[in-house]
């Protein structure tokens, strides 16, 4: 593994908030995966496995839906880790994780995760923190879907998938799927946000002009 690969995860997301000793223990047990766009990392119903950290690229989290079609629920960025629920409980995967772009991920097997925490039981608190991170994502998804005001629902979804600088890498079609709204409804909501100076619409993409403004709109400032 290149030092630059581990450096990203030491500086962003869950692993960055752990001790350097724990970071070393995790990273020395990981293997690097290089995946092309549209490659399943794992699928809903797969046997349990390990956890995956995103070094670069984007991944999509899809929830299974009635009728068999998957539903886009979240977009993960470098620094994010997924797979903790199945790794901890030993149950089949509850959702699918698919690369949105070419991506590199680190994989920590379930057995190695358990071994490094059993060796030093205090490390389990770091795993609990990862579970809390992904629980927060799930709560954000539910909160957005419960908003009846489509402009606020759209704003919440923009905040959920943007990075700290406001970069999105999503299309209007993606937003419609994330928000469970029609493309026409999303376009209307984006137009309302654009009138307030909070976003700018471009061909096949959306630019956030004010993260703080979006947060104030939905009561998260």
Q: What is the pLDDT of residues 65-84, one digit of tens each?
A: 777 665 899 999 999 999 99
Architecture of domain 149-217: Orthogonal Bundle (1.10)
Q: What six digits make up the tokens of 91? A: 């149950």
Least confident segment among 35-39, 61-65, 80-84, 99-103: 61-65
Q: For the residues 162-183, what does the mean pLDDT come to? A: 87
The CATH T-level fold of domain 3-143 is Jelly Rolls (2.60.120)
Residue 131 has pLDDT above 90, yes or no: yes
Strands, E, within the chain: which ranges? 31-35, 40-42, 51-56, 59-64, 70-76, 81-82, 96-99, 103-108, 199-202, 205-208
Stated pTM of the model: 0.90
Task: For the chain, give every domain's residue range.
Answer: 3-143, 149-217
SS (H, E, C) 116-167: HHHHCHHHHHHHHHHHHHHHHHHHHHHHHHHCCCHHHHHHHHHHHHCCCCCC
Q: For the residues 194-208, what does the mean pLDDT come to? A: 90
Q: Give the number of residues written for the chain.
A: 221
Same fold, 3-143 and 149-217: no
């Amino acid at each position: 593994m290149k030092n630059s690969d581990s450096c990203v995860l030491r500086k962003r997301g869950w692993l960055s908030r752990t001790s350097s000793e724990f970071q070393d223990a995790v990273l020395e047990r990981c293997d690097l995966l290089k995946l092309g766009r549209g490659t399943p990392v794992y699928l809903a119903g797969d046997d349990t496995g390990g956890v995956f950290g995103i070094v670069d690229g984007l991944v999509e989290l899809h929830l299974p839906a009635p009728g068999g079609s998957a539903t886009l629920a979240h977009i993960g960025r470098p620094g994010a880790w997924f797979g903790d629920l199945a790794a901890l409980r030993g149950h089949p995967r509850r959702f699918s994780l698919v690369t949105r772009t070419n991506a590199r991920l680190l994989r920590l097997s379930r057995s190695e995760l358990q071994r490094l925490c059993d060796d030093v039981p205090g490390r389990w608190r770091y795993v609990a923190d990862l579970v809390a991170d992904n629980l927060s994502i799930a709560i954000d998804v539910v909160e957005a879907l419960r908003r009846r005001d489509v402009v606020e629902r759209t704003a919440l979804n923009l905040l959920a998938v943007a990075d700290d600088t406001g970069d999105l890498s999503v299309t209007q079609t993606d937003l419609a799927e994330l928000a469970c709204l029609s493309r026409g409804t999303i376009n209307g909501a984006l137009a309302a946000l654009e009138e307030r100076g909070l976003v700018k619409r471009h061909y096949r993409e959306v630019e956030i002009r004010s993260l703080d403004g979006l947060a104030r709109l939905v009561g998260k400032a």
